[in-house]
Amino acid sequence: MKIVTWNVNGIRAVERKGDLEEFISKEQADLFLFQEIKGNREQFSDYLRDHTDYDQYYHSAQKKGYAGTGIWVKKSFIASCKDVTFHISVPHAPNMDEGRVSHLSFKKGRKIWDVLSIYFPNGGKSEAAWEEKLVFFDKVLDYMNDLRTQGHEVIVGGDMNVAHTENDITRAKENDGKIGFHPDERAWVDRVIAAGWLDVWRSENPDVCDVYSYWDMVTRARERNVGWRIDYFFIDQKMQKKVKDIAYLNDQYGSDHCPLSLILS
């Protein structure tokens, strides 16, 4: 099973550039998780809502042109599954009217699988937005734990808007305490790992630096690789043996984020 997550920073913009169609054709993932789709289905082209090879699910923000998430799943993959259901909520989490969670569940073999595409809040608009971000973090972790307790296989991917350690950000000292690298956010990632979840890429690359998933476009930071690793896949630590490959696709342009690809046996 190949899953790719990508904050596209506007799925229609990436489509217009020609990057999306080329990317989909090249990667041929079983599931694509998208964040910041910035649009509603009625605004999308036929390619974005009636693809030949993929069923396309979206959770759009109530505010048009803002946030939103989506999941594309290959039709040939879905054909081997049962009880396919699309969900759009995490219980009691704030900001859900911003389309921050897309959740596809299905039964494959004897297991129920839950795949979540999540766009975590930035939290920088106000003190209230910051508090809501921390609540959102905790509600997502609760939801992950609840699904796992039910015996499900859980995969969470997306833009989590936090760099965990100094190895995940170019200028750690300059950004220490700032949103995106705040101790409270980083402590949440600690709690996720302590709860038995695996930061898949970091577990496979424990000491690697200078690999990022986001760069500021205004300052052309990508050209200098001045970045942040804020896009993740989390799975149950017991699933680590299933990981065949995990990689940031740094050569893929079209957004201020690059995609992250995960292959499970």
Which residues are marked as active site?
159
Q: Calculate the alpha carbon distances from 76 to 49, 53, 151, 239, 256 in Å.
A: 17, 8, 25, 24, 31
Burial of 202-235, coded b for 16+ CB within 10 Å and e otherwise, reads beeeeeeeebbbbbeeeeebbeeebbbbbbbbbb
Question: What six digits make up the tokens of 174?
Answer: 């300059």
Give residue 91's identity as a one-letter amino acid code.
P
Residue with the two structure tokens 């229609």: 12
Tell me how far apart the alpha carbons of residues 122 and 129 are, in angstroms, rounded to a whole number.
8
Can you say how many angstroms the Cα of residue 116 is from the centroid of all Cα atoms in its chain? 8
Q: How far apart are CA 245 and CA 29, in angstroms?
A: 13
Distance from C-alpha of 115 to C-alpha of 30, rounded to nearest angstrom: 12
199 CB contacts (<8 Å, ≥6 apart)?
A: 164, 189, 192, 193, 232, 233, 234
Distance CA 180, CA 161 (A): 6
